[in-house]
Amino acid sequence: MKKILVVDDHPIVREGIAHVLEAEGDLKVCGKAGTAEEALELVKKTAPDLILTDLTLPGRSGLELIKDLKVLHPHIPILAMSMHDEMIYAERVLKSGGRGYIMKESASDSVVDAIRKVLEGGIFVSKAVTDHFLNTMSSGVKRNKASFPIERLTDRELEIFELMGLGKSSQCIADQLHISPRTVDAHRAHIREKFGFADSAELTRYAVRWIESGSIGQDA
């Protein structure tokens, strides 16, 4: 029996995933956490065989949790699940130490297969992501990050940039991420500087267009 720790800030999502996994005879949900802090505590108490985590968590993000876990519990494989576009987040998850990435919209169909593959020592990403990686490698052309502003953002900056694109104010972003509005404003200033925009209004308009165009992971 393999033990799975589920990390997601939405109770309904946690219960839904648990229901799917418990239907399998050889998988058991040993714990459910809503934050990175809760997850770290449960890892010590339950000793899971695999951790399935969302990327959008209050306070410390899922990517930060993955990085912490790879230092504190390097033997436990981690599978990320999120609504964020896989073309940019899958690579970030793998670089952070995760062993796979699945989109929430397809989770009910692929989560069990993904978990089994990772437990067997493999890496799980969608065919689209695999093809993207292979095409990038086979082209022999190293991408210049200066041509892709989104890629220059840190994980936290990208998270804040997406929330800006969804029309969230600094206070709303601060409340959602459990950080101070001043910290949010500092991140916004760094993002504006990296993009070379003259003011915050221009940055906000760009973020909104980026979200509306569905160009996550690309230079909009």
Number of helices (H) and strands (E), helices first, in the chain?
Answer: 10, 5
**Given the DSSP bridges, would you call strands 50-54 and 27-33 parallel, antiparallel or unpaired?**
unpaired
Q: What's the rounded Cα separation, in Å, for the pair 79 and 98?
A: 6
CATH superfamily of 2-134: Response regulator (3.40.50.2300)
Q: What is the pLDDT of residues 41-66, one digit of tens each?
A: 999 999 999 999 998 888 888 999 99
- pLDDT computed for residue 7 by the predictor: 97
Flag whether pLDDT at 24 surpasses 90. Answer: yes
Domain residue extents for the chain: 2-134, 145-213
pLDDT tens column, 120-173? 999 999 887 777 666 766 665 555 444 456 778 888 888 899 889 888 999 999
Report pLDDT for 209: 84
Q: How confident is residue 34, by pLDDT bands cut at 50, 70 and 90?
A: very high
Question: Which strands make up the sheet holding 78-82, listed edge to edge?
Answer: 27-33, 2-7, 50-54, 78-82, 100-103
Provide CB contacts within 8 A for 185, sequence distance 6+.
170
Pick the CATH number of 145-213 from 1.10.10.10, 3.40.1280.10, 3.40.640.10, 1.10.10.60: 1.10.10.10
Question: pLDDT band at 39, cuts 50/70/90?
Answer: very high
Torsions phi, psi of 151, nearest 5?
Answer: -70, -15
Same CATH topology for 2-134 and 145-213: the answer is no
Model pLDDT, residue 216: 41
